[in-house]
Amino acid sequence: MEPRELRRAVAAGREAAVALGLPVDDVHVVHDSDRVVLRLVPCDALLRVAPAHGLAEAEFEVGVARRLAEVGAPVAELDPRVEPRVPVRDGFAISFWTYYAPTSSAVAPADYADAFLRHHAALRRVELDAPHVTDRIASALTVVNDRERSPELPDVDREFLADTLGGLGAAIGGDRARDQLLHGEPHPGNLLNTGGGPLFVDLATCCRGPVEFDLAHAPEEVTPHYPGADPELVHRCRALNWALFSAWRWRRDDQMPGRERGRTEGLRQVRAALERRG
């Protein structure tokens, strides 16, 4: 966020917590992008604060978290001291979560796969109205094919991304027999290694598709530990994920940190993933 907007977001989070009776002496910014994550002390609450136009997404995430907690999924839970809703304050949608102290060690591939297996099993036990992976692809294609929405995307890269997204989307969306609810973006940054084991966070990306789409967000060493996974489909999904990432970075209104580097890196990773597939 811009510095001024970040200050407003921090103030809104503090005020919302105090209004709910949580003691707040200090606020630490844990993550800052299109929305911010705040840790409040001494109450040790974790807040996700997004512009109010993201209210529907925040409410969806809270709903997903509630349902998954009920079936024992390995996910970060909502703050039990606060009602499971998303208040809006000073133009910001605010959700309250449990704070987990991270451990210093990385999640081992076998543990990552085990977390996936338990998470996917839990997702099969809940009913949620979630979009399909191909809906995400269609949104990315809209950006790539619209020069007004991606004015700085070179024509050669525009054609490459459009062909990649269209081709992989058709290949992955053609067989719905393997589809189920997924996390949607379970990359290492969205898996916390806590004292109680690995927990998935950032649940707003929940969607439907093959489990290989989730696996493609994890390090390559994880796939061999996931029984029944199709390695070829994982490779396709890995290329697709980088194509999606690249498309978002070329949006005219993209505000993610490191946007310029992400544009170049995203295209490079798509080509590298396709080359590894032959």
Please check whether residues 137 and 17 belong to one and the same domain: no
**Dist CA 225 CA 46 (whole Å):** 32
pTM to 2 decimals?
Answer: 0.92
- State both tokens at 28: 């630490």
pLDDT score at 54:
92
Evaluate whether residue 103 is within a structural domain: no
Indicate if 173 and 69 belong to the same structural domain: no
**HEC readout, 214-241:** HHCCCCHHHHHHCCCCCHHHHHHHHHHH
Q: How many CA atoms lie within 13 A of 223 on its CB side?
A: 19
Query: What CA–CA distance (Å, rounded) separates 266 from 157?
Result: 11
Task: Write the CATH number for 60.
Answer: 3.30.200.20
Q: How many domains does the chain have?
A: 2
Q: Would you tell me the crossing angle of helices 155-173 and 133-145 to the nearest 10 degrees?
A: 160
We report the CATH number of the domain holding residue 214 as: 3.90.1200.10
Note the pLDDT of residue 182: 97
Cβ–Cβ < 8 Å for 41, 28: yes
d(Cα 246, Cα 200) in Å, to the nearest integer?
24
pLDDT of residue 278: 63
**Domain contains 104:** no
First to last CA, the chain: 40
117 and 243 in a common domain: yes
Distances, alpha carbon 15 to alpha carbons 21, 80, 84, 88, in Å: 10, 19, 17, 11
Amino acid at site 154: P
Residue 139 lies in domain:
109-276
What length does the chain have? 278
Residues 89 and 142 reside in one and the same domain: no
- Residue whose C-alpha is closest to residue 206's, from 15, 63, 14: 63
pLDDT at 260: 87
> Using an 8 Å Cβ cutoff, are 35 and 54 in contact?
yes
Same domain, 168 and 259: yes
The tens place of each residue's pLDDT in the chain, 278 residues long, gives 788 999 999 999 999 999 999 999 999 999 888 789 999 999 999 999 999 999 999 999 999 999 999 999 999 999 999 999 999 999 999 999 999 988 878 899 999 999 999 999 999 999 999 999 999 999 999 999 999 999 999 999 999 999 999 999 998 877 778 899 999 999 999 999 998 899 999 999 999 999 999 999 999 999 999 999 999 999 999 999 999 999 999 999 887 778 888 999 999 999 998 988 66
Distance CA 116, CA 230 (A): 15
Beta bridge partners of 49: 36, 94
73 shares its domain with 211: no
